[in-house]
Amino acid sequence: MARMHTRRRGSSGSDNPATDENPEWSDVDAEDIESRVVELAEQGHDPSVIGIKLRDEGVKGVPIPDVKLATGKKLTEILEDHDADADVPEDIRSLMARAIRLREHMADNGQDHQNKRALQNTEAKIRRLADYYRGDELDEEFRYTYENAVELLEE
């Protein structure tokens, strides 16, 4: 992942295995996987957590290494089909949660210049993502403010 606000090089990450078919040892029915995905979403888990749970715990004891290969649909597409997707996309939601934590920290520690910059960078990322999602995933009139973020995350 490349660092956005520094001059340093990006750090390398892992890639998904280069395969286009589900492994034979993971032969769970697509409907069972979809129902488990919806069940986990209703428990309040984000899509990334659902993917990790399917990988580690599986469905009926059988791990699901890749939801898209097993069902033909992305995890977020499954959630949209069953109206179980969140109001706000996961990436902007987690950035808003970080900004709220940083702002609360800054209220107590005004002299912490490092975290003041981290807050500025985080809020800049949120504004860029909001521009990307506005009109599609977010309301056309959405503007990021601390108060809006607190209100959205309380829901």
Q: What is the pLDDT of residues 131-149, one digit of tens each?
A: 999 988 888 999 999 999 9
Find residue 59's DSSP bridge partners: 62
* Closest by CA position to 35, among listed 67, 3, 2, 69: 67
Give the mean pLDDT of 90-102. Answer: 95
* Contact status, residue 59 vs residue 36, Cβ threshold 8 Å: yes
Q: What is the pLDDT of residues 22-77, one digit of tens each?
A: 888 888 888 999 999 999 999 989 999 999 999 999 888 889 988 999 999 999 99
Cα–Cα distance measured from residue 29 to residue 127, given in angstroms and rounded to the nearest whole number: 41
Q: What is the pLDDT of residues 29-40, one digit of tens each?
A: 889 999 999 999
Question: Residue 118 carries which side chain, given as an amino acid letter?
Answer: A
What pLDDT is attached to residue 2?
A: 53
What pLDDT is attached to residue 10?
A: 72
What is the separation of C-alpha 62 from the centre of its chain, rounded to a whole number of angstroms? Answer: 24
Reduced to 3 states, what is the DSSP secondary structure of residue 99?
Answer: helix
